[in-house]
Chains A and B, each alone.
Chain A
């Protein structure tokens, strides 16, 4: 006859013996000890990328390729958006979802398009959920908002583990594996640009973009924060961000702020540009203007 006490003791021992190997192997596996991206040696980074590719190839498709292309020298990315050209068609937001492997359910979209009444710039009066047969609607203008790639980013300041930082080309990035999901950055961002994976994101293998970047569009996990990165998997290789290519009216312009010949610099010189919430001294590198 086994006593109650013995039963509990033995079953606890058995359970711990059963789970111990997986616990130990989990701790010993390299992924568990993966360092912060900026602290990795070249070999560690290569191994980390191989590990990621293996994981994503198993989960999605064989074509997955993860890169960690560094910032180009003498480049500072900036975007300018002509609010008098934007018609609010949301093509930018949807192309961003496809390019950057955003979750369908729960839905995550890095770009919010606000429908604004003419004559006001109060962001909290903007409507994200407008539905019309055709846009633009008379008496309104449309204001797309995404990460403003601040020169002085409050989200970076509040991160307790330095999982988010500003790259030399001005893009604020996140090491998704280093993020602990405390969401301080969501609270700190005055633009609502950061999105949190409250539950496991879902992404269909056939809808996935296999060209990935370590700090860009590789799939995120539950408990990780994500946001716009100016499509650095594209822009660091000379291409335009997906939203710029998708915009049917050419309202978005992208380029190097350090190059006086770039189109963005021409806009800064010619137009009355403004940034959102300048009083907060975040110094966005995302410029709006009425062309």
Chain B
């Protein structure tokens, strides 16, 4: 049997629908892994955040312990050194109550601690945009090689963000 384009024509719509469904699934997969996707396009490298956390994974305690936080901001014994003064936020606005090893973005998406900038960027959009281009935040490493970046909380305390103040170094000698 010889292949002819006119055989294709009757099933065009079937093929078109199949194509769209497949495309939809693949792009959905892409969206699921958007965390790593954004990371890889950053102009700098970041170490995994989980390694820097003292008590990670949080489920180490929290699989048995229920969240004791209440809306008025009172916290349990373990976390009583934290006082949240960040807008009008409280713990479970950013920490995912269902899966304590993750954070909760503004659209209630679960993001890992290594993707926290997606959580912060939900409110601080222009800072996030600048950060993702290397404009906001300090870069170390090499200008023409590997640039090392920092995550939001490595400079800003997420629970109590405050502008940085320092004692200045001594002034230059006055000539007079």
Q: Which residues of A contact B (CB under 8 A)?
A: 72, 75, 87-91, 93-94, 107, 109, 112, 128-136, 235, 238-240, 245, 247-250, 253-256, 261-263, 266-267, 270-271, 291
B46 within 8 A of A: no
| Chief secondary structure at chain B's binding surface | loop
The residue from A91, A256, A270 contacting B144, defined by CB atoms under 8 A apart: A256
- Knowing A240-B140, A291-B130, the reply to whether A134 touches B172 (Cβ < 8 A) is no
- Knowing A249-B138, A256-B143, the reply to whether A129 touches B174 (Cβ < 8 A) is yes
B145 within 8 A of A: yes
Q: List B contacts of A238 (CB < 8 A).
A: 142-145
Closest to B133 in A: A266
Provide a sorted-by-A list of 16 A–B residue pairs whose CB atoms are within 8 angstroms.
Answer: A89-B167, A91-B166, A93-B172, A107-B172, A109-B172, A240-B139, A240-B141, A249-B155, A249-B164, A250-B150, A253-B134, A253-B135, A262-B143, A263-B134, A266-B135, A267-B135
Closest to B150 in A: A250
The residue from B135, B138, B140, B168 contacting A135, defined by CB atoms under 8 A apart: B168
- Knowing A238-B144, A291-B135, the reply to whether A128 touches B169 (Cβ < 8 A) is no
- Measured CA separation A271–B134 after assembly (Å): 13
Contact indicator B43/A261 (Cβ below 8 Å): yes
| Chief secondary structure at chain A's binding surface | loop
Contact indicator B139/A250 (Cβ below 8 Å): yes
18 other contacts beyond A87-B165, A248-B166, with CB at 8 A cut-off?
Answer: A75-B144, A87-B164, A90-B171, A93-B169, A94-B169, A129-B171, A131-B168, A136-B165, A235-B143, A240-B142, A247-B138, A250-B137, A250-B139, A263-B147, A266-B135, A267-B135, A271-B135, A291-B130
Contact indicator A255/B143 (Cβ below 8 Å): yes
Q: Which of B97-148 contact A (CB under 8 A)?
A: 130, 133-145, 147
Q: List B contacts of A245 (CB < 8 A).
A: 140
Contact indicator B165/A239 (Cβ below 8 Å): no
In the assembled complex, the CB of A75 is this many whole angstroms from the nearest CB of chain B, namely 8
B9 within 8 A of A: no
Interface string of B32-46 (1 = CB under 8 A from A): 000000000001000
B173 within 8 A of A: yes
Q: List A contacts of B141 (CB < 8 A).
A: 240
In the assembled complex, the CB of A43 is this many whole angstroms from the nearest CB of chain B, namely 30
The residue from A107, A133, A254 contacting B173, defined by CB atoms under 8 A apart: A107
Q: List B contacts of A248 (CB < 8 A).
A: 138, 164, 166
The residue among B134, B138, B143, B163 with the most chain A CB atoms within 10 A of its own CB is B143
Contact indicator B166/A135 (Cβ below 8 Å): yes
Closest 9 CB pairs of A and B: A250-B138, A90-B169, A263-B134, A89-B166, A238-B142, A134-B165, A129-B171, A266-B133, A135-B168
Closest to B171 in A: A129
- Measured CA separation A88–B144 after assembly (Å): 28
Q: List A contacts of B142 (CB < 8 A).
A: 238-240
The residue from A93, A134, A263 contacting B139, defined by CB atoms under 8 A apart: A263
Q: List A contacts of B140 (CB < 8 A).
A: 240, 245
- Knowing A253-B139, A270-B133, the reply to whether A133 touches B144 (Cβ < 8 A) is no
Closest to A130 in B: B171
Q: List B contacts of A112 (CB < 8 A).
A: 172
- Measured CA separation A112–B172 after assembly (Å): 8
- Measured CA separation A254–B138 after assembly (Å): 11
